[in-house]
Chain A
Amino acid sequence: MQKPKSIDASFALTTSPTPGSAKSDPILVADKIARQFGGLTAVNVDHLEVQRGSITALIGPNGAGKTTFFNLLTGYDTPNSGTWSFNGRALNGIPPHKVARLGMVRTFQLTKALYRLTVIENMALGARGQKGESVLRSVFPWMWRAQEAEIRERATAILTNFKLIEKQDDFAAALSGGQRKLLEMARALMVEPEMVMLDEPMAGVNPALKQSLLEHIKELRTEGKTVLFVEHDMDMVHEISDWVIVMAQGEIIAEGTPASVMGNQQVIEAYLGAHHNEDLSANQEGA
């Protein structure tokens, strides 16, 4: 259990804490990615590398372009310019479903549980290479029944781990907000990804569930998966991430270990404004 963790620790110590710094074994590399909406530049990332096997947090104030950047990386949106690659494979112009098949699976800020499917159906949907998902073979159940049984078995195991097993035959809509977040993450694991991209996994989750979500994310690292997540909850960022990337106004302004980033003057300014320590009345007089 401790072994991968120690690898990550050494990674954090040996990597330079500067924006766009090179990693020893990057799984995801992005270069000069820009996305404009009309006159607004939502994302303008010069260079970014994400270390394989690490838990990397992507933080930043509201409107920093984190979710847009996520959408660009996973194929849900197309950048105006830039290149990026996953496991050395260029992802330009690759549609979202192919990105997922390559092993990079995402979740969504607004949870996308499939409401009128049961929990177990949500899970089974995630499995790859299903014979019964072909239109022709779907008509011949004996061609896919055995595989379906295996998939259900794997889904049941993951649901048990996520403590959702009692809910397996309920509609996903019947779950609480936090349970839906858990389900979405569990479903992403059914795809057997190498890298999991979590967009605000803690939003709206109660403290008890938060703790179990944290454990599940740590488990992913133990299994050798890479995690990149967007989060506002600083306690969580501090607790589980090996590396933190800070975005503000579309750009990466800082990188480093959680402790170093949170002491970074630029990061504090990005969150609180450059003049947050000055006297308000003095400002007003000046104006």
Chain B
Amino acid sequence: MDFLFIAQQTLSATIGVNTIIFALAAIGLNMHFGYTGLLNFGQAGFLAIGAYSVAVPVISFGIPLWIAFLIGIFNSVIFALLLGVPTLKLRADYLAIVTIAAAEIVRQIARSATFNEWLGGSDGITGKFGKDFFALNPFKSGLDTPILRFNANDLWVVITGWSLVAAITFVMWIMVNSPWGRVMRAIREDEDAVRSLGKNVYLYKMQSLIIGGVVGSMGGFVYALSRQSVQPDNYGTALTFFAYTVLILGGAARVFSPVVGAMIFWFLIVFIEQVLRQGVTNNVIPHWLIGINQVSQIRFMLMGLGLMALMIFRPQGIFGDKKELALDAKA
């Protein structure tokens, strides 16, 4: 077994492009769910809107990429308003139902034949819509060391992506520790009490939905740019639930938990896969037990087992406080 290869693949994934995408998706969810208590099950919809908003304007309408980013932010604000206006006055469960449906509507519209000309149908969009971005790449070659390996484009995405994650995490940290963040956490606990103290709860919940959604759509920017393609089926409900997994792994309502959760999530997925793959090809794991084609399914089974163990032994996540979690059972 090539342990160095396993280490290289695993570490590269731990700080890689996918980790950045999931960290951004989960930072948005942390705003929604962790701090404000909004059950948004449609985060994938925000990522899809971010991804399509950078690809479509550039490819179909020849608009510069930088303006496409602004369009993406604008669109995700509009999407948040569409979700929030009818649901935020209702109980939390309605938001959950509406968001899960809305994200699917976004995906189905994107893959429908009707808009094939602009959105590319179920094949999505592939093309060099990110060339303005990669033109700024100062790295002529990639990084190739025994423990980390990125090609030139990925290296540029990783560096800019982590800078973005750092900046957003910093702003989030300031915001959730401000009086504004205090109102958000109070809404999570009991919105009627917050109303009785003269706060416009509806407005705050809308702000939370918009901010978390815009951060999620930035995850979509990274998703689209890093692959130079957008596939509608990448933005299904599984993406939302993986983002929740990331958040719960780290521990909800902690500023760093989405980042560390995403790192652990991708560390585990790639580590398990590489170990299994190496084990099978080197006959360490017998073929009657696991075939090479079963590896990618089995990694998710093991991942699921690991998560169950986490929920049993550390339900508060990595950063969470077990005592605080117990308080949730409204005494």
Chain A interface (Cβ within 8 Å of chain B)? 74, 76, 95-98, 100-101, 105-108, 112-117, 121-122, 124-126, 128, 130-135, 137-139, 141, 144, 148, 171, 173-174, 184, 187-188, 190-191
Chain B interface (Cβ within 8 Å of chain A)? 171, 174-175, 178-183, 185-186, 188-190, 192-201, 207, 211, 324, 327-328, 330-331
Smallest CB separation, A240 vs chain B (Å): 22
Whole-angstrom CA separation of A144 from B199 in the bound complex: 17
Whole-angstrom CA separation of A115 from B194 in the bound complex: 12
Contact at B175–A125, with CB atoms within 8 Å? no
A115: contacting residue among B180, B182, B189, B198, CB under 8 A: B189
Cβ of B193: which chain A residues have Cβ within 8 Å of it? Answer: 108, 112-114, 184
Which residue on chain A has the smallest CB distance to residue B210? A135
Whole-angstrom CA separation of A98 from B190 in the bound complex: 18
Smallest CB separation, B81 vs chain A (Å): 15
Contact at A173–B327, with CB atoms within 8 Å? yes
Whole-angstrom CA separation of A115 from B201 in the bound complex: 18
Cβ of B189: which chain A residues have Cβ within 8 Å of it? Answer: 114-117
Contact at B198–A100, with CB atoms within 8 Å? yes
Cβ of B196: which chain A residues have Cβ within 8 Å of it? Answer: 74, 96-97, 100, 105-108, 112, 188
Known: A107-B196, A191-B197. A116 touches B324 (CB 8 A): yes
Contact at B195–A96, with CB atoms within 8 Å? yes
Cβ of A171: which chain B residues have Cβ within 8 Å of it? Answer: 324, 327
Whole-angstrom CA separation of A121 from B178 in the bound complex: 11
Cβ of B178: which chain A residues have Cβ within 8 Å of it? Answer: 132-133, 138-139, 141, 144
Smallest CB separation, B208 vs chain A (Å): 9
28 pairs of residues in contact across A and B, judged by CB atoms under 8 Å: A74-B196, A96-B196, A97-B196, A97-B200, A98-B198, A100-B195, A100-B198, A105-B197, A114-B186, A114-B190, A116-B185, A116-B327, A117-B182, A125-B179, A125-B183, A125-B186, A125-B194, A132-B180, A133-B179, A137-B180, A139-B171, A139-B174, A139-B175, A141-B174, A144-B179, A171-B324, A171-B327, A173-B327
Cβ of A115: which chain B residues have Cβ within 8 Å of it? Answer: 189, 327-328, 330-331
Which 9 A-B residue pairings sit nearest by Cβ, starting from the closest? Answer: A132-B179, A138-B180, A112-B193, A138-B178, A100-B198, A114-B189, A173-B327, A96-B195, A101-B198
Cβ of B195: which chain A residues have Cβ within 8 Å of it? Answer: 76, 95-97, 100
Q: How many A-B residue pairs have CB under 8 A?
A: 115
Whole-angstrom CA separation of A106 from B193 in the bound complex: 9
Whole-angstrom CA separation of A252 from B174 in the bound complex: 51
Cβ of B207: which chain A residues have Cβ within 8 Å of it? Answer: 135
> Do most interface residues of chain A lie in helix, strand or loop, or is the interface mixed?
helix
A124: contacting residue among B182, B190, B331, CB under 8 A: B182
Known: A76-B192, A187-B197. A125 touches B182 (CB 8 A): yes
Cβ of A174: which chain B residues have Cβ within 8 Å of it? Answer: 327
Cβ of A105: which chain B residues have Cβ within 8 Å of it? Answer: 196-198
Smallest CB separation, B37 vs chain A (Å): 10
Whole-angstrom CA separation of A115 from B326 in the bound complex: 11
Whole-angstrom CA separation of A124 from B180 in the bound complex: 11
Known: A116-B189, A138-B181. A126 touches B197 (CB 8 A): yes
Known contacts A138-B181, A174-B327, A191-B198; 13 additional CB pairs below 8 A are: A96-B192, A101-B198, A115-B327, A115-B330, A122-B186, A132-B178, A132-B179, A132-B180, A133-B183, A139-B175, A173-B330, A187-B197, A188-B197
Whole-angstrom CA separation of A57 from B65 in the bound complex: 66
Which residue on chain A has the smallest CB distance to residue B181? A138
Contact at B328–A116, with CB atoms within 8 Å? yes
Cβ of A117: which chain B residues have Cβ within 8 Å of it? Answer: 182, 185-186, 189
Contact at B192–A112, with CB atoms within 8 Å? yes
Contact at B197–A124, with CB atoms within 8 Å? no
Whole-angstrom CA separation of A95 from B249 in the bound complex: 39
Smallest CB separation, A133 vs chain B (Å): 5
Cβ of B330: which chain A residues have Cβ within 8 Å of it? Answer: 115, 173
Which residue on chain B has the smallest CB distance to residue A103? B198
Cβ of B186: which chain A residues have Cβ within 8 Å of it? Answer: 114, 117, 121-122, 125
Which of B178, B192, B207, B330 has the largest count of A CB atoms less than 10 A from its CB? B178
